[in-house]
Structure formats: C-alpha cells, structure tokens
C-alpha cells in the first residue's frame, strides 16, 4: 500500500499505439506474429493464475486426492467437506462468519473514515496554495515508506497504555491512518480535475461552501473516491502485521488474515482445509477487485502515472 | 431607547439580532476566511492521525533504542533507564543481526531485478497484444497483485510442500539436463535459508510483477510511435529499440519503480514470516523478522528491538530520499 507516483516522461505527446504504422508486414506474417504474441499472453495468464487455481482446486479435493505424489489439476471427486470444516469452525471453535464479520467491520469503517478524512486533505492540497503544502506532500511520501514492522513496536506499547490492544477499534485507527497517504495522494488529482469554474458559478449563485461541497464537488469526485477506496480496502482487508501483534491471543477478534495464518499454523498438514480457509478469505477480495477493476485502473492512472 | 435608534436605522430591514451579533458558525467562517486557515483546518484530521499514529511512534522508536525498555518497563515494575548506545553496540557485535541483514540484502538483490525484468517484459508484451487480449492478461495479472499476502504465502508453501506439493512433483518430471530428477522428491523448501528465500523470491515476483507491468504499459503509451518507426527504419532490432529508445525515454519511470521495489522487497515481512514458519527458525530471519522477534518473543526486549527497527528505518529512509527526489524532480508535487 504505497503512493505510487510514477512520473510521465516530459514533453512527449500521447499517442495511441506504440506499433509502427508505416511498416506493416505482409498479412500472413502479421497473423503469425499476432498468434505468437497471443500464445505468450495466454501462457503468462495461465502461469499467473495457476497458484490461485491450485488453491481453489485443492480446497475441493478429498485428502486422498491432495495427499498424493501424482497430483491432478482438477478434483475427480469434488467435496465440500473442507469448506464445511472451515465454516463450522473445527479448528478455532468459531465459524468462519465470525472472522469475516470482524474483517468486514474493520475494513469498511477504516475505508469510509480514511476516504472522508483524505477527501478533506485532498481538497486542501488541490484547491489551496498555502505554506507547508509541499512539506505536507513530501511528508506523506516519506511516511508511507516507514516500515510497519518497526512502527508496530511503539504502537504496541502505546496501544497497551491506551487500552486499544485486543480491540478492533485500535485496528480501525491504524488502518485509517496508514491508508491516508495513498488515498490523499490519489484523491488530490481527482479533486484537481473538477473544474473550478463550476464551483465559482455555484458560489456566484449564492451557494455557501458547504453547499458547493455537497452539490458540486462530492458528486464529481465520487468516482475518484470509489477508485481510491479500493486501495484502502485491499490494504485493510489484507493487513497482517498490526492484526497479528495487536490481537494477540483473543481468537474471537481475529481478522481473516490472522485467522488463515492461525488456521495454517494449527492445522499442520490438512491442506484441503487450509486451502478452503484461504479460498474463503481470498475470493471476496478478488471478486471485489474484479467488480471495480475499471475504476481501479482510473485510480492507477490518476494516482500513479500523473502527467 | 435612545441608543437603539441609530442601530435600527443602520440595520434597516434586518431581522432583530441577539446581543452577540452573527451566529457562531458565521463568525467562525469569517475568521477562517480572514486568516486563510481553511486549508489547515482541512488538513487537521489527517495530520493529527498521521502525527499520533505514525510520526510519534517513529520518534518513540528512536527514544526506546537508547533505553533498556523491556517487560519490566512495560508493566511499570522498574523504571526506564537511558543506556546510551548500548543497544546499538550489542547489535554491532551480534552475528544474528549481520546474518539477518545479509539475508535482507541478498533477497532484495534477487527479488528487485527479477520483478523488474519480468514486469517489464510483460508490460512490453501487453503493449503489443490486441485490446481484448491485453485487457484479459492484465486483469489476470492484477488478480495476483490483489491476492492477500497471507493467502499467497500459504498457497506457495502448499505448492512447495515435500508431501504432495506440486513444485517437487514438477521438478521430478523435469529432465536431468535441466536440473530436474528424482532427487527433488520430498525436497523441503522451508528448512534452510537458501530454498526458503528462493520460494519467497518466486512469491514476491508473482505478487509484484503485475504492478510493474501495468506501470510500464502506461509509460509505453506515452511514447510517440514515430520514435519506434524511425529506429526501425534505421535497422534497429527489438533489443536495440528497447535500450536506445524505450529505456532512455522511460528512465524516470524505471527509476521510480526500481526504488519502490527496493523499499518493498527489503522490508518484506508477511511472506517471509509465513514461509519460514512464524518465528521458529532463527537462521532464516531477515532484518524485519529479527527485529520483530526481538520485540515480541519472550523475553521481550523493546529497547534492543527499537535499535534494530531504527536501523531498518534508516536504511529504508535513505532509499526513500532517492524516491522522493525522483518524484519531486518529475513534478509529482505540482
């Protein structure tokens, strides 16, 4: 979870394709080239997808089929027993839903809070020129590079004295804060893209700052809010170090990443059940990701490749 | 009675006011506008959170690293004492620190170039694919990027398990002259540092190449095709086109991606933590894991761990300075 400001090379104008147009080869050669490239592309996709596919496939296999020296890609006798074990909570004694609920609670609250707080900051940075503006932006860049496994020591000691250990509220605070730099960094481009004239016109028509915000700015940056919140969502849903450290032994409060890791640690070599737990943790994230993929790439372009 | 008359005249048709004048909200609004504090007010919530939960802990790490902060100090049984550079002195003479530093450096030295090369190649491929195929391949690749680190790590451990893992099975099928063979059957990938970090490298490359590929693709789209045309007319092959045209133009992008990769891969935690089996095998710790175990394994030594954390932070900050400078130079702050 990092601000990614990949700069665009200066002074080149955009062009749609990087392929030379004046040098078109004969059509059969073009077809062969195209087929070859597509084949390589397909291969890349398959190799990349393989670990995820193998996780899901193992989750549906009975033990005799995954504990074997000649593994098959697909289960020949698919079973739901692994999922049943996870959902019934045969390992920690608590059903999967408990941990999903914890994770969703923490993630959603952190995403909403960080989006709102970041929007305020993004407005300040995009709409005003003030002292320390550059300092603030550079601070954000630096802050998000600080190693979390270092900060967790001090935060553990602080949270202990603030009674925030073993508490989902503590996690929400940390996730909200650590999602801020990236969210602000990306949102400010969306805010800057809203034409100032619209706001000025509304102000001339007698709308106060609040009204301008609710009626003009917020609707226009809401696509940006969705795009940036995806990053906050992925960060908070996947976060491991803070949850591992702060939630300690209170298994009922575990979020899904800690739950999966604990499940894996406790279950020794029951790979069917471990993969089922992992599947139930991963699939919601990937489904959400696929759902908002287009907005996500908008976020990437606005935040990452900034012109 | 007399006093109110001129007021009424000046006020004209205004509604009667309370003695305080305009409402608090209106006055606050005026004050904000007069002193131009609006941006600062807007920044306040984010700044407060970042200050309390990121900046202050960083300062604390620095402070603790000069103290004998341990379990007794945590529970308040005995007072915290300043110990000067004792923690740092201990680190310098600690072979485990040097081993963990070595593992961090070496693993980053393997992960960063591999990620960049694979990511760049896939990015170049995406630029040459048709629209639909490129969208398909990049979506699939981004799935790897979006897979939670914990899941990805557990999956890779499962792929590499000696009993029934598909990697060992595959390696036994690979012909001898390619390094495969029956001796791979039952090979354990997590019981020694080299195989464990080989697995971690594969995992990190799998997770982070999609981001590099997408960034490279975005950069490639900014290069005018005339440049490639003229290079090819001059007889340049793909290798030369890349090094003579693509790379020089996209240098700033590669620079930033390189620095980001170094920062991420030097500080990799979750993946290594799970692959080496939590905190069991001390000879497989990287710097971050060693620091974490010093802090949270009994007996906890928060002071010593803070010194390690400070060293880790300083190393990463040095790289971050390069990253910030590269970003500022390219106008990221505008």
Average pLDDT over residues A214-229: 84
Structural domain spans, chain B? 104-329
Q: Does this complex have an ipTM over 0.90?
A: no
- Spatial distance between the Cα atoms of B41 and B83, rounded to a whole number of angstroms: 41
CATH 1.10.940.10 fits B104-329, yes or no: no
pLDDT score for A280: 92
pLDDT tens by residue, B145-172: 889 999 999 999 999 888 778 888 888 8
Closest CA to B221 of B115, B139, B134, B140: B134
CA distance B252 to chain A (A): 7
For residue A10, is it within any domain?
no
**Residue B252: both structure tokens together:** 């700033």
- Spatial distance between the Cα atoms of B252 and B281, rounded to a whole number of angstroms: 40
Establish if A267 touches chain B: CB-CB under 8 angstroms: no
- Spatial distance between the Cα atoms of A157 and A160, rounded to a whole number of angstroms: 5
Closest CA to A250 of A168, A149, A156, A150: A168
Kindly state whether residues A61 and A189 are assigned to the same domain: no
Kindly state whether residues A130 and A192 are assigned to the same domain: yes
pLDDT tens by residue, B115-125: 999 999 999 99
Kindly state whether residues A123 and A221 are assigned to the same domain: yes
Residue window 154-183, chain B: list those with CB within 8 Å of chain A.
154-159, 161, 163-164, 166, 169
Contact of B173 with B76, CB cutoff 8 Å: no
The more confidently predicted of residues B99 and A270 is B99
Average pLDDT, chain A: 83
Judged on CB neighbours under 10 Å (0-12, 13-18, 19+), A62 is middle
Residue A195 pLDDT class (50, 70, 90 cuts): confident
CA distances from A20 to A23, B183, B299 (A): 6, 50, 65
For residue A231, is it within any domain?
yes
B-chain residue closest to A42, CA distance: B137
What is this structure's pTM? 0.84
A-chain residue closest to B73, CA distance: A157
* CB spacing of B50 vs A143 below 8 angstroms: yes
Kindly state whether residues A167 and A33 are assigned to the same domain: no
Element (H, E) at A7: strand A6-7
> Among the listed ranges A202-211, B195-204, B255-264, which one has the minimum average pLDDT value?
A202-211
Q: How many helices (H) and strands (E) does chain A have?
A: 14, 2
- Spatial distance between the Cα atoms of B90 and A48, rounded to a whole number of angstroms: 44
The secondary structure of chain B, three-state, reads: CCCHHHHHHHHCCCCCCCCCCCCHHHHHHHHHHHHCCHHHHHHHHHHHHHHHHHHHHHHHHHHHCCECCCHHHHHCCCCCCECCCHHHHHHHCCHHHHHHHHHHHHHHHHHHHHHHHHHHHHHHHHHHCCHHHHHHHHHHHHHHHHCCHHHHHHHHHHHCCCCCCHHHHHHHHCCHHHCCCHHHCCCCCCCCHHHHHHHHHHHHHHHHHHHHHHHHHHHHCCCCHHHHHHHHHCCCCHHHHHHHHHHHHHHHHHHHHHHHHHHHHHCCCHHHHHHCCCCCCHHHCCHHHHHHHHHHCCCCCHHHHHHHHHHHHHHHHHHHHHHHHHHHHCCCCC
**Final residue belonging to a domain, choices A79, A110, A140:** A79
Kindly state whether residues A136 and A165 are assigned to the same domain: yes
pLDDT score for A298: 57
For residue A1, is it within any domain?
no
Among A137, A145, A290, select the one facing B263 at the smallest CB separation: A145
Residue B6 pLDDT class (50, 70, 90 cuts): very low
Contact of B130 with B193, CB cutoff 8 Å: no
pLDDT at A304 over 50: no
For residue A267, is it within any domain?
yes
Kindly state whether residues A70 and A156 are assigned to the same domain: no
**Residue B27: both structure tokens together:** 């006055």
**Final residue belonging to a domain, choices A19, A46, A79:** A79
- For residue A254, give its domain range: 96-306
- Spatial distance between the Cα atoms of B77 and B74, rounded to a whole number of angstroms: 8
Q: Which of A13, A44, A69, A137 to mutate to test the interface with B (most CBs of B within 10 A)?
A: A44
Cis peptide, bond prior to residue B299, ω within 30 of zero: yes
pLDDT score for A43: 93
For residue A56, is it within any domain?
yes
For residue A7, is it within any domain?
no
Kindly state whether residues A42 and A112 are assigned to the same domain: no
CA distance A9 to chain B (A): 6
pLDDT at A296 over 80: no
pLDDT score for A61: 86
pLDDT at B250 over 80: yes
CA angle, residues A28, A34, A39, in degrees to nearest 5:
130
Phi, psi at B330, each rounded to 5°: -85, 10
Beta-bridge mates of residue A288: none
Report for A126-140, B121-135, B194-208: range of highest mean pLDDT: B194-208
Residue B334 pLDDT class (50, 70, 90 cuts): low
Residue B218 pLDDT class (50, 70, 90 cuts): confident
A-chain residue closest to B210, CA distance: A48
Reduced to 3 states (helix: H, G, I; strand: E, B; else coil), residue A305 is: strand
Kindly state whether residues A125 and A32 are assigned to the same domain: no
- Structurally, chain A folds into a number of domains equal to 2
pLDDT at B182 over 80: no
Kindly state whether residues A65 and A113 are assigned to the same domain: no
Closest CA to A88 of A79, A97, A78: A97
Residue window 135-164, chain A: list those with CB within 8 Å of chain B.
136-143, 145-158, 160
CATH number of the domain residue A263 falls in: 1.10.3720.10
Q: What count of CB pairs under 8 Å joins A to B?
A: 347
Kindly state whether residues A173 and A211 are assigned to the same domain: yes
Residues of B in contact with A160 (CB under 8 A): 74
């Amino acid at each position: 979870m990092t601000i990614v400001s990949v700069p665009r090379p200066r002074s080149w104008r955009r062009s749609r394709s990087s392929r030379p147009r004046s040098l078109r080869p004969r059509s059969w050669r073009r077809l062969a080239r195209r087929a070859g490239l597509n084949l390589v592309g397909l291969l890349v996709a398959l190799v990349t997808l393989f670990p995820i596919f193998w996780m899901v496939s193992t989750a549906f296999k009975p033990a005799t089929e995954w504990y074997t020296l000649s593994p098959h890609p697909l289960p020949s006798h698919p079973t739901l027993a692994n999922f049943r074990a996870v959902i019934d909570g045969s390992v920690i004694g608590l059903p999967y839903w408990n941990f999903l609920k914890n994770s969703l609670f923490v993630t959603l609250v952190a995403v909403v809070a960080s989006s709102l707080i970041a929007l305020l900051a993004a407005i300040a940075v995009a709409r005003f020129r003030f002292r320390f503006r550059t300092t603030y932006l550079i601070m954000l860049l630096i802050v998000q590079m600080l190693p979390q496994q270092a900060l967790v020591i001090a935060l553990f000691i602080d949270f202990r004295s603030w009674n925030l250990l073993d508490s989902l509220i503590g996690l929400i605070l940390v996730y909200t804060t650590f999602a801020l730099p990236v969210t602000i960094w990306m949102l400010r481009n969306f805010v800057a893209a809203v034409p100032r004239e619209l706001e000025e016109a509304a102000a001339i028509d007698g709308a106060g700052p609040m009204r301008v915000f609710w009626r003009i700015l917020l609707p226009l940056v809401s696509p940006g809010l969705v795009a940036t919140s995806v990053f906050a969502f992925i960060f908070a849903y996947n976060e491991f170090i803070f949850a591992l450290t702060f939630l300690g032994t209170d298994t009922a409060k575990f979020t899904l990443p800690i739950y999966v890791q604990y499940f894996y640690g406790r279950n020794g070599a029951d790979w069917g059940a471990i993969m089922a737990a992992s599947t139930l943790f991963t699939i919601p994230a990937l489904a959400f990701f696929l759902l908002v993929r287009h907005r996500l790439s908008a976020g990437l372009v606005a935040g990452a490749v900034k012109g | 009675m007399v006093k109110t008359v001129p007021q009424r005249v000046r006020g004209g048709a205004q509604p009667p006011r309370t003695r305080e004048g305009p409402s608090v909200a209106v006055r606050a609004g005026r004050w904000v506008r007069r002193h131009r504090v609006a941006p600062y007010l807007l920044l306040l919530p984010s700044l407060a959170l970042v200050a309390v939960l990121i900046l202050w802990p960083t300062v604390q790490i620095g402070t603790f690293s000069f103290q004998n902060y341990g379990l007794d100090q945590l529970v308040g049984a005995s007072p915290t004492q300043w110990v000067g550079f004792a923690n740092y002195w201990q680190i310098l003479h600690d072979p485990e620190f040097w081993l963990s530093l070595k593992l961090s450096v070496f693993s980053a030295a393997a992960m960063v170039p591999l990620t960049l090369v694979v990511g760049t190649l896939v990015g170049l491929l995406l630029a040459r694919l048709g629209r639909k195929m490129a969208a398909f391949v990049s979506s699939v690749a981004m799935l790897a990027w979006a897979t939670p680190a914990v899941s990805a790590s557990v999956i890779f451990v499962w792929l590499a398990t000696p009993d029934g893992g598909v990697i060992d099975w595959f390696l036994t099928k690979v012909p001898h002259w390619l390094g495969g063979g029956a001796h791979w059957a039952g090979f354990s990938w997590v019981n020694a540092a080299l195989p464990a970090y080989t697995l971690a490298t594969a995992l990190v490359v799998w997770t982070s190449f999609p981001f590099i590929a997408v960034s490279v693709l975005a950069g490639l789209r900014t290069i005018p095709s005339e440049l490639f045309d003229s290079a090819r007319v001059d007889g340049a092959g793909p290798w030369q086109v890349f090094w003579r045209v693509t790379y020089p133009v996209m240098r700033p992008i590669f620079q930033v991606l390189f620095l980001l990769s170094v920062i991420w891969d030097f500080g990799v935690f979750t993946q290594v933590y799970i692959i080496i089996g939590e905190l069991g095998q001390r000879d497989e710790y990287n710097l971050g894991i060693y620091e974490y175990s010093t802090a949270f394994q009994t007996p906890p030594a928060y002071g010593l761990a803070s010194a390690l954390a400070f060293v880790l932070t300083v190393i990463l900050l040095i790289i971050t300075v390069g990253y910030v400078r590269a970003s500022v130079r390219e106008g990221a702050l505008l």
